[in-house]
Structure 1
Amino acid sequence: MMMLPIHSRFPPMTQRIRARRSPIHGRGVFALADLAKGDCVVRYRGELISHAQADERYGDDGESGHTFLFTLNEQYVVDGNRRGNVARWINHSCMPNCQAVIEISAGGDPRRDRILIEAVRDIAAGEEITYDYGIVLAVPHTAAMKRLWPCHCGAARCTGTLLKRRRRTEGGHARVECKM
Protein backbone atom coordinates (compact mmCIF):
# COMPACT_ATOMS: atom_id res chain seq x y z
CA MET A 1 0.00 0.00 0.00
CA MET A 2 1.45 3.34 -1.02
CA MET A 3 0.89 6.45 1.09
CA LEU A 4 1.01 9.68 -0.88
CA PRO A 5 1.43 13.19 0.49
CA ILE A 6 -1.90 14.94 1.01
CA HIS A 7 -1.24 17.45 -1.79
CA SER A 8 -0.77 14.56 -4.24
CA ARG A 9 -3.79 12.62 -3.06
CA PHE A 10 -6.10 15.63 -2.97
CA PRO A 11 -5.72 17.85 -6.04
CA PRO A 12 -7.37 21.28 -5.90
CA MET A 13 -11.09 20.70 -5.39
CA THR A 14 -12.08 23.58 -7.63
CA GLN A 15 -10.86 21.52 -10.58
CA ARG A 16 -13.24 18.65 -9.77
CA ILE A 17 -16.22 19.96 -7.79
CA ARG A 18 -18.01 23.21 -7.00
CA ALA A 19 -20.78 24.33 -4.63
CA ARG A 20 -23.88 26.00 -6.06
CA ARG A 21 -27.66 26.10 -5.62
CA SER A 22 -29.13 22.60 -5.38
CA PRO A 23 -32.54 21.23 -6.35
CA ILE A 24 -32.26 18.88 -3.35
CA HIS A 25 -31.71 21.44 -0.59
CA GLY A 26 -30.04 24.87 -0.37
CA ARG A 27 -26.50 24.59 -1.62
CA GLY A 28 -25.03 21.40 -3.05
CA VAL A 29 -21.78 20.20 -4.56
CA PHE A 30 -21.56 19.30 -8.25
CA ALA A 31 -18.98 17.45 -10.33
CA LEU A 32 -17.17 19.68 -12.84
CA ALA A 33 -15.71 16.65 -14.60
CA ASP A 34 -16.56 12.98 -14.86
CA LEU A 35 -15.58 11.07 -11.71
CA ALA A 36 -14.97 7.32 -11.62
CA LYS A 37 -16.17 4.80 -9.06
CA GLY A 38 -13.55 4.69 -6.30
CA ASP A 39 -12.37 8.27 -6.78
CA CYS A 40 -11.77 10.26 -3.61
CA VAL A 41 -13.90 13.28 -4.42
CA VAL A 42 -12.96 15.48 -1.46
CA ARG A 43 -11.78 15.43 2.14
CA TYR A 44 -14.35 16.71 4.65
CA ARG A 45 -12.59 19.47 6.57
CA GLY A 46 -13.37 21.60 9.58
CA GLU A 47 -12.33 22.24 13.15
CA LEU A 48 -11.48 19.10 15.12
CA ILE A 49 -13.39 19.15 18.43
CA SER A 50 -14.45 16.67 21.10
CA HIS A 51 -17.99 15.33 21.33
CA ALA A 52 -18.42 17.33 24.57
CA GLN A 53 -17.37 20.54 22.78
CA ALA A 54 -19.89 19.80 20.01
CA ASP A 55 -22.63 19.36 22.62
CA GLU A 56 -21.61 22.65 24.30
CA ARG A 57 -21.71 24.53 21.00
CA TYR A 58 -24.82 23.05 19.46
CA GLY A 59 -26.64 21.11 22.18
CA ASP A 60 -27.16 17.38 22.25
CA ASP A 61 -30.93 17.17 21.84
CA GLY A 62 -30.89 16.82 18.05
CA GLU A 63 -33.53 19.50 17.63
CA SER A 64 -31.74 21.81 15.22
CA GLY A 65 -32.58 19.85 12.07
CA HIS A 66 -29.32 21.04 10.53
CA THR A 67 -25.67 20.31 11.17
CA PHE A 68 -22.21 20.42 9.67
CA LEU A 69 -20.90 18.13 12.42
CA PHE A 70 -19.34 14.89 11.24
CA THR A 71 -18.35 12.16 13.72
CA LEU A 72 -14.73 11.22 13.05
CA ASN A 73 -14.25 8.61 15.79
CA GLU A 74 -15.11 7.99 19.44
CA GLN A 75 -13.05 10.99 20.58
CA TYR A 76 -13.56 13.62 17.91
CA VAL A 77 -16.03 15.40 15.65
CA VAL A 78 -15.19 17.56 12.63
CA ASP A 79 -17.11 20.86 12.77
CA GLY A 80 -17.59 22.03 9.18
CA ASN A 81 -19.10 25.29 10.49
CA ARG A 82 -15.59 26.38 11.43
CA ARG A 83 -12.74 26.11 8.93
CA GLY A 84 -14.93 23.89 6.77
CA ASN A 85 -14.53 23.43 3.04
CA VAL A 86 -16.85 22.79 0.09
CA ALA A 87 -17.57 19.25 1.39
CA ARG A 88 -19.92 20.66 4.04
CA TRP A 89 -22.37 21.52 1.24
CA ILE A 90 -22.69 17.93 0.01
CA ASN A 91 -26.34 16.94 0.35
CA HIS A 92 -27.83 13.70 1.63
CA SER A 93 -29.48 11.17 -0.65
CA CYS A 94 -31.19 7.88 0.10
CA MET A 95 -29.60 6.60 -3.15
CA PRO A 96 -26.20 8.36 -3.03
CA ASN A 97 -23.39 8.39 -5.56
CA CYS A 98 -20.73 8.68 -2.84
CA GLN A 99 -19.97 7.39 0.62
CA ALA A 100 -18.09 8.79 3.58
CA VAL A 101 -14.97 6.81 4.43
CA ILE A 102 -12.96 7.24 7.62
CA GLU A 103 -9.24 6.92 6.97
CA ILE A 104 -7.64 5.67 10.18
CA SER A 105 -4.28 7.24 11.00
CA ALA A 106 -1.37 4.85 10.43
CA GLY A 107 0.17 6.01 13.72
CA GLY A 108 -3.00 5.36 15.72
CA ASP A 109 -3.51 9.02 16.66
CA PRO A 110 -7.29 9.64 16.45
CA ARG A 111 -6.63 13.36 15.83
CA ARG A 112 -5.07 12.40 12.49
CA ASP A 113 -7.98 10.30 11.23
CA ARG A 114 -9.63 11.82 8.15
CA ILE A 115 -13.01 11.82 6.46
CA LEU A 116 -12.96 11.18 2.73
CA ILE A 117 -15.91 11.32 0.35
CA GLU A 118 -15.54 8.50 -2.18
CA ALA A 119 -17.53 7.84 -5.36
CA VAL A 120 -19.49 4.55 -5.15
CA ARG A 121 -20.32 4.68 -8.86
CA ASP A 122 -19.30 6.69 -11.90
CA ILE A 123 -20.50 10.30 -11.65
CA ALA A 124 -21.09 12.45 -14.73
CA ALA A 125 -19.95 16.06 -14.99
CA GLY A 126 -22.80 18.29 -13.81
CA GLU A 127 -24.25 15.66 -11.45
CA GLU A 128 -24.79 16.56 -7.80
CA ILE A 129 -22.50 14.79 -5.32
CA THR A 130 -24.45 13.08 -2.51
CA TYR A 131 -23.92 10.61 0.31
CA ASP A 132 -26.15 9.01 2.96
CA TYR A 133 -25.75 11.06 6.15
CA GLY A 134 -26.95 8.16 8.31
CA ILE A 135 -27.65 10.49 11.25
CA VAL A 136 -28.02 8.67 14.55
CA LEU A 137 -29.30 10.65 17.52
CA ALA A 138 -29.29 9.69 21.20
CA VAL A 139 -32.96 10.67 21.50
CA PRO A 140 -35.95 8.63 20.26
CA HIS A 141 -36.93 9.15 16.62
CA THR A 142 -40.44 10.49 17.01
CA ALA A 143 -42.58 11.74 14.14
CA ALA A 144 -41.76 15.30 15.24
CA MET A 145 -38.04 14.52 15.22
CA LYS A 146 -38.28 13.04 11.72
CA ARG A 147 -39.97 16.27 10.57
CA LEU A 148 -36.98 18.21 11.93
CA TRP A 149 -34.64 16.05 9.81
CA PRO A 150 -36.52 15.74 6.47
CA CYS A 151 -35.01 14.27 3.33
CA HIS A 152 -35.65 16.05 0.03
CA CYS A 153 -33.53 13.82 -2.21
CA GLY A 154 -36.42 12.72 -4.42
CA ALA A 155 -35.00 9.20 -4.85
CA ALA A 156 -37.42 6.38 -5.65
CA ARG A 157 -36.53 4.77 -2.31
CA CYS A 158 -36.46 7.97 -0.25
CA THR A 159 -37.11 7.30 3.44
CA GLY A 160 -38.31 10.86 4.05
CA THR A 161 -35.75 11.48 6.81
CA LEU A 162 -31.99 11.81 7.29
CA LEU A 163 -32.24 9.76 10.49
CA LYS A 164 -31.25 6.10 10.75
CA ARG A 165 -33.15 3.67 12.95
CA ARG A 166 -30.16 2.00 14.54
CA ARG A 167 -26.54 2.75 15.14
CA ARG A 168 -24.11 1.79 12.42
CA THR A 169 -20.95 -0.06 13.24
CA GLU A 170 -18.56 2.34 14.95
CA GLY A 171 -15.13 2.98 13.59
CA GLY A 172 -15.04 3.09 9.86
CA HIS A 173 -12.62 1.54 7.46
CA ALA A 174 -9.03 2.47 6.80
CA ARG A 175 -8.87 3.13 3.07
CA VAL A 176 -6.07 4.73 1.16
CA GLU A 177 -6.73 3.10 -2.19
CA CYS A 178 -9.09 5.83 -3.42
CA LYS A 179 -8.21 6.86 -6.97
CA MET A 180 -7.52 10.53 -7.59
Structure 2
Amino acid sequence: MSSVPRDADSSLPSPPIASLAGDPFEIRDSPIQGKGAFATRYIPPGVRLIEYAGERLTPAEAEARYPDVPGERHHTFLFAIDDDVVVDAAVNGNDARWINHSCDPNCDAVIDGGRIWIESIRDIVSGEELAYDYAYILEERHTPAAKKRFPCHCGAENCRGTILAKKR
Protein backbone atom coordinates (compact mmCIF):
# COMPACT_ATOMS: atom_id res chain seq x y z
CA MET A 1 0.00 0.00 0.00
CA SER A 2 2.75 2.48 0.76
CA SER A 3 6.35 3.18 1.50
CA VAL A 4 8.05 1.47 4.38
CA PRO A 5 10.15 3.87 6.42
CA ARG A 6 12.71 2.66 8.89
CA ASP A 7 12.00 3.13 12.59
CA ALA A 8 14.18 5.62 14.42
CA ASP A 9 16.48 4.18 17.05
CA SER A 10 14.95 5.67 20.20
CA SER A 11 18.28 5.40 22.02
CA LEU A 12 19.83 7.96 19.68
CA PRO A 13 19.12 11.70 19.72
CA SER A 14 16.95 12.99 16.87
CA PRO A 15 18.92 14.56 14.04
CA PRO A 16 18.76 18.34 13.69
CA ILE A 17 15.71 19.73 11.93
CA ALA A 18 16.53 21.99 9.01
CA SER A 19 16.56 25.63 10.05
CA LEU A 20 13.48 27.68 9.26
CA ALA A 21 15.77 30.54 8.18
CA GLY A 22 15.83 29.82 4.48
CA ASP A 23 14.17 26.66 3.26
CA PRO A 24 16.63 23.85 2.52
CA PHE A 25 14.68 22.94 -0.64
CA GLU A 26 12.24 24.32 -3.18
CA ILE A 27 9.55 22.71 -5.33
CA ARG A 28 9.84 22.78 -9.11
CA ASP A 29 9.32 20.57 -12.16
CA SER A 30 11.22 17.28 -11.94
CA PRO A 31 12.76 15.07 -14.62
CA ILE A 32 11.83 12.08 -12.43
CA GLN A 33 8.08 12.70 -12.08
CA GLY A 34 5.84 15.78 -12.07
CA LYS A 35 7.08 18.08 -9.35
CA GLY A 36 10.13 17.50 -7.17
CA ALA A 37 12.01 18.97 -4.21
CA PHE A 38 15.44 20.45 -4.98
CA ALA A 39 18.10 21.47 -2.48
CA THR A 40 18.61 25.23 -2.28
CA ARG A 41 21.90 24.81 -0.41
CA TYR A 42 24.32 22.14 0.72
CA ILE A 43 22.68 19.63 3.10
CA PRO A 44 24.92 17.31 5.13
CA PRO A 45 23.87 13.76 6.04
CA GLY A 46 21.69 13.29 9.11
CA VAL A 47 19.48 16.37 8.73
CA ARG A 48 15.77 15.98 9.40
CA LEU A 49 14.32 18.00 6.51
CA ILE A 50 10.54 17.85 6.82
CA GLU A 51 7.68 15.86 8.28
CA TYR A 52 5.52 13.94 5.81
CA ALA A 53 2.19 15.51 6.79
CA GLY A 54 -1.41 14.90 5.79
CA GLU A 55 -4.73 13.48 6.87
CA ARG A 56 -4.49 10.36 9.03
CA LEU A 57 -6.63 7.44 7.85
CA THR A 58 -7.09 3.79 8.62
CA PRO A 59 -5.87 1.40 5.91
CA ALA A 60 -9.53 0.61 5.08
CA GLU A 61 -10.31 4.32 4.60
CA ALA A 62 -7.23 4.71 2.39
CA GLU A 63 -8.20 1.70 0.28
CA ALA A 64 -11.76 3.02 -0.13
CA ARG A 65 -10.43 6.43 -1.15
CA TYR A 66 -7.84 5.08 -3.61
CA PRO A 67 -8.73 1.55 -4.72
CA ASP A 68 -6.14 -0.29 -6.80
CA VAL A 69 -7.43 -0.70 -10.33
CA PRO A 70 -5.74 -3.57 -12.19
CA GLY A 71 -4.00 -2.40 -15.33
CA GLU A 72 -3.96 1.28 -14.32
CA ARG A 73 -0.89 3.20 -13.18
CA HIS A 74 -0.92 3.68 -9.42
CA HIS A 75 -0.33 7.13 -7.92
CA THR A 76 -1.25 8.45 -4.50
CA PHE A 77 0.32 10.42 -1.68
CA LEU A 78 -0.34 7.62 0.84
CA PHE A 79 2.30 6.65 3.38
CA ALA A 80 1.77 4.00 6.08
CA ILE A 81 3.03 4.75 9.58
CA ASP A 82 2.08 1.30 10.84
CA ASP A 83 -0.65 -1.32 10.37
CA ASP A 84 -3.28 1.09 11.76
CA VAL A 85 -2.42 4.55 10.40
CA VAL A 86 -1.90 5.84 6.86
CA VAL A 87 -1.06 9.46 6.03
CA ASP A 88 -2.74 10.95 2.93
CA ALA A 89 -0.65 13.97 1.94
CA ALA A 90 -3.17 14.87 -0.78
CA VAL A 91 -5.31 16.22 2.09
CA ASN A 92 -3.65 18.75 4.41
CA GLY A 93 -0.25 17.71 3.12
CA ASN A 94 2.92 19.76 2.76
CA ASP A 95 5.90 19.93 0.42
CA ALA A 96 7.19 16.53 1.57
CA ARG A 97 4.69 14.96 -0.84
CA TRP A 98 6.76 16.27 -3.76
CA ILE A 99 9.90 14.35 -2.76
CA ASN A 100 10.23 11.73 -5.48
CA HIS A 101 11.44 8.13 -5.47
CA SER A 102 14.94 7.10 -6.48
CA CYS A 103 16.63 3.71 -6.53
CA ASP A 104 19.80 5.62 -5.49
CA PRO A 105 18.32 7.90 -2.78
CA ASN A 106 19.90 10.80 -0.91
CA CYS A 107 17.18 10.78 1.78
CA ASP A 108 15.33 8.26 3.89
CA ALA A 109 11.90 8.18 5.53
CA VAL A 110 12.02 7.57 9.28
CA ILE A 111 9.16 6.97 11.70
CA ASP A 112 9.72 8.65 15.05
CA GLY A 113 7.01 9.15 17.65
CA GLY A 114 4.20 8.23 15.24
CA ARG A 115 5.36 10.80 12.69
CA ILE A 116 7.14 10.34 9.35
CA TRP A 117 10.27 12.41 8.79
CA ILE A 118 12.39 12.80 5.68
CA GLU A 119 16.11 12.86 6.53
CA SER A 120 19.22 13.30 4.42
CA ILE A 121 21.44 10.20 4.33
CA ARG A 122 24.41 11.61 2.42
CA ASP A 123 25.83 14.94 1.27
CA ILE A 124 23.35 16.75 -0.98
CA VAL A 125 24.57 19.62 -3.16
CA SER A 126 22.58 22.72 -4.02
CA GLY A 127 20.31 22.02 -7.01
CA GLU A 128 20.21 18.25 -6.44
CA GLU A 129 16.77 16.64 -6.34
CA LEU A 130 15.81 15.13 -2.98
CA ALA A 131 14.62 11.53 -3.24
CA TYR A 132 14.09 8.45 -1.11
CA ASP A 133 13.35 4.83 -1.99
CA TYR A 134 9.57 4.44 -1.75
CA ALA A 135 9.96 0.65 -1.41
CA TYR A 136 6.23 0.30 -2.05
CA ILE A 137 4.94 -3.01 -0.69
CA LEU A 138 2.73 -5.04 -2.98
CA GLU A 139 1.55 -8.40 -1.70
CA GLU A 140 0.87 -9.82 -5.16
CA ARG A 141 3.59 -11.23 -7.41
CA HIS A 142 5.81 -8.62 -9.04
CA THR A 143 4.81 -9.50 -12.59
CA PRO A 144 5.75 -7.25 -15.52
CA ALA A 145 2.16 -5.93 -15.45
CA ALA A 146 2.40 -5.10 -11.73
CA LYS A 147 5.74 -3.36 -12.22
CA LYS A 148 4.24 -1.34 -15.08
CA ARG A 149 1.60 0.03 -12.67
CA PHE A 150 4.40 1.23 -10.36
CA PRO A 151 7.08 2.59 -12.73
CA CYS A 152 10.33 4.26 -11.70
CA HIS A 153 11.84 7.05 -13.79
CA CYS A 154 14.76 7.94 -11.52
CA GLY A 155 17.45 7.28 -14.13
CA ALA A 156 19.92 5.92 -11.56
CA GLU A 157 22.52 3.41 -12.75
CA ASN A 158 20.98 0.87 -10.36
CA CYS A 159 17.36 1.70 -11.30
CA ARG A 160 15.17 -1.37 -10.85
CA GLY A 161 12.43 0.09 -13.10
CA THR A 162 9.79 0.11 -10.38
CA ILE A 163 9.06 1.83 -7.07
CA LEU A 164 8.08 -1.54 -5.61
CA ALA A 165 10.12 -2.90 -2.71
CA LYS A 166 12.39 -5.79 -3.51
CA LYS A 167 10.73 -9.11 -2.69
CA ARG A 168 12.33 -10.82 0.30
Partner of 1:145, secondary structure, is helix
What is the match of residue 97 of structure 1?
Answer: 106
Counterpart residue number, 2:145: 144
Partner of 2:81 in structure 1?
Answer: 72
In structure 2, the residue corresponding to 1:29 is in which secondary structure? strand
Distance in 2 (CA, whole Å) between partners of 1:65 and 1:54 is 13
Instruction: Compute the displacement of 1:138 (Å).
Output: 2.6
Whole-angstrom CA distance in 1 between matches of 2:80 and 2:22 = 25
Q: Which amino acid aligns with 1:94?
A: C
Give the TM-score of the pair, scaled to structure 2: 0.84
In the alignment, structure 2 segments of 5+ residues that lack a partner are 1-11
Q: Which whole-Å CA distance do the structure 2 matches of 1:47 and 1:150 have between them?
A: 25
Aligned equivalent of 1:51: 59
d(CA) in 1 for partners of 2:21, 2:75: 24
Report the secondary structure of 1:70's partner residue: strand
Counterpart amino acid of 1:67? Answer: T
Matched positions, count: 156
Shift of 1:61: 5.4
Q: Distance in 1 between matches of 2:154 and 2:13?
A: 37
| Change in CA separation of 1:58 and 1:136 when aligned onto 2, cut-off 3 Å | same
Shift of 1:144: 0.9
Percentage of pairs with the same residue: 46
Q: 1:122 corresponds to which residue?
A: 123
CA distance in structure 2 between the aligned counterparts of 1:13 and 1:133, rounded to whole angstroms: 29
- Alignment-mate amino acid for residue 28 of structure 1: G
Separation of aligned partners in 2, 1:13 and 1:73: 32
Question: Which residue does the alignment assign to 2:8?
Answer: none
1:64, distance to aligned residue in structure 2 (A):
4.1
TM-score (norm 1): 0.79
Please report the RMSD computed on the Cα atoms of aligned residues, expressed in angstroms.
2.2
- Alpha-carbon offset, residue 139 of structure 1: 2.5
For 2:21 and 2:162, how far apart are their aligned partners in 1? 29
Unpaired runs of at least 5, structure 1 = 106-112, 168-180
Q: Structure 2: how far apart are the matches of 1:89 and 1:53?
A: 22
Alignment match, 2:9: none
Counterpart code for 1:31: A
Of 85, 93, 107, which residue of structure 2 is paired with 1:84?
A: 93
Deviations 1:93-150 (A, max 9, x none): 00000000010x2xxxxxxx10001101011111100000000113222211111111
